[in-house]
Amino acid sequence: MSSQEHYSIVHNKLADKQLRENLKNVMTTLKTNRKNLITSRFKDWEGLREQGRAVKQKSLSQLDVLLERFEQNALKNGFQVHWASNSTEANEIIYKLMQEKHITKILKGKSMASEETHLNAFLKQKGLEPIETDLGELIIQLIDEPPVHIVAPAIHKNRYQIGEIFEQKLGAHLESEPERLNEIARVHLRKEFQTFKMGLSGVNFAIANEGAIWLIENEGNGRMSTTASDIHIAICGIEKIVESFEDAAILDALLVPSATGAPITCYNNIITSPRKSGELDGPKEVHIILLDNNRSTMLKDSHFYRALSCIRCGTCLNHCPVYDKIGGHAYLSTYPGPIGEVISPQLFGMAHFGHMVSLCSLCGRCSEVCPVKIPLAELIRDLRSEKIGQGRKNLKNNDGSLKDNQEIFMMNAFAKAASNGRKWRTTLKFAHIFAPLAKPFAAFIPGLKNWVAYRTFPALKGNLHKKVSQMQGVIYE
């Protein structure tokens, strides 16, 4: 996709007043809830953040060891462990399991990893039926859209729009009250849960010492998908491995307040084995797919690997002044927002996702609120350098196709002028003289026309070059 096509999509989202209103309402609520909870409930939130950062750094520093330990203990517990180096392998594992078990329908709890692998589209091509059971995921599946947010996938739709979707797609009576909308979804999904044989989930934390997986959710559909089925499949990115339950508990205490502003989720599902002899419920088989998909390549990079610390809380999206204006779809990636800008070019290639790094004001909010202290703003800035062939020039899958030679020329010219006193004074002198003349024609002048399309023409008042000379004289004295 060309940069012009991407800009067109961004502008279309900016022009969608209903989208912006919906996003503003939800983002304001999430930020307020988080702030109030942290203030009232936590004595040392910053100390907890530091603990979370240390847990993730420790886990990543010995990820190979922890992965092997997790596999050994998971196998002892009765799990079946599969390794997938990329999206295709992960999808093929699920497809083959469905074929072997003669299953044509799989009910899904929320899983961003399955969104990353585009599992739904893959299974539909094979004539199989993936059914989303998370309320937000169900809404967007009905209208064939991807998630707009990594935690709340349908926040771009308000309750009136959701009522219309249910009326059109499910044949329900038009409703707008949340309780009634939930009831419609519950009735629709209940018949699916009564007959399904295979369920799928993501994984929030995989505990190496125990060979167990920990899932958190608020609706109960995740627990249904993982316990009421005969076969449970869990897709786990390899960066989700932690050493112990204590480590996972620290991250859980950070994740939930950051994501929703609640102290704890409604459901914490810790799964340690398939159904054992004598037990009345639980799946007979549990398959865990450990997904790499370029995560090991990220881990090799001594600088950008820190993005693998992400616990998928989404708070960087909630606080981003760009995301709350355009929503997640404008990023054209499974992972939008600040964290998406950092991991998407690394996971899927700079050539395809380099456009994302321009969707940032570098305000630094994301770094300030990240519960595990990922320096997101710094990494985005550095990825911008990598995008145009500068920086450390160490990023994989960067073919240099996004380099803008005109932009590089202009920035080099600016740097030369700004670093030379005589040239800088001369530049300001001519700017002072010609700016009033350029103003009427700014919409037609290359460079300036992009600026004035959305901003006021800069006002240059007074004898700037003389003032700068006087200031420099004072400094030199």
Strand partners, 271: 213
**Cβ–Cβ under 8 Å, residues 109 and 133:** yes
Q: What is the per-residue pLDDT for 388?
A: 81
Distinct helix (H) and strand (E) counts, the chain:
23, 10
* Two tokens, residue 456: 């006021």
Q: Mind listing the domains of the chain with CATH numbers?
A: 42-293 (3.40.50.10420), 421-469 (no CATH)
Residue 477: the pLDDT is 41
pLDDT for res 232: 98
Amino acid, single-letter form, for residue 271? I
The pLDDT value given to residue 451: 76
- Residue 431 is predicted with a pLDDT of 77
Are 157 and 329 in contact, with CB atoms under 8 Å apart? no
Contact 268, 216 (CB under 8 A): yes
| Helical axes 63-76 vs 45-61, angle rounded to 10° | 80
Residue 1 has a pLDDT of 60
pLDDT at 425: 86
Give first-to-last CA distance, the chain, whole Å: 55
Give SS3 for 219.
coil
Rounded Cα distance, 101 and 263, in Å: 40
Task: Retrieve residue 234's tokens.
Answer: 């869990």
pLDDT for 280: 86
**Per residue of the chain (477 residues), what is the pLDDT tens digit?**
666 778 889 999 999 999 999 999 999 999 999 999 999 999 999 999 999 999 999 999 999 999 999 999 999 999 999 999 999 999 999 999 999 999 999 999 999 999 999 999 999 999 999 999 999 999 999 999 999 999 999 999 999 999 999 999 999 999 999 999 999 999 999 999 999 999 999 999 999 999 999 999 999 999 999 999 999 999 999 999 999 999 999 999 999 999 999 999 999 999 999 999 999 889 999 999 999 999 999 999 999 999 999 999 999 999 999 999 999 999 999 999 999 999 999 999 888 898 899 999 999 999 999 999 999 999 999 999 888 877 776 676 666 666 677 777 878 888 898 899 888 888 888 877 777 777 787 788 877 777 777 778 777 665 554 555 554 544 444
Whole-model pTM?
0.88
Which residue, chain included where needed, has tokens 């998928």? 312
Sign of CA dihedral 360, 365, 367, 372: negative
The confidence score (pLDDT) of residue 475 equals 43
The gap from C-alpha 290 to its chain's centroid, in whole angstroms, comes to 19
Rounded alpha-carbon distances, angstroms, from residue 159 to 36, 174, 175, 218, 300:
25, 11, 8, 19, 45
199: β partners: 107, 232
**Integer Cα distance of 450 and 462 in angstroms:** 26
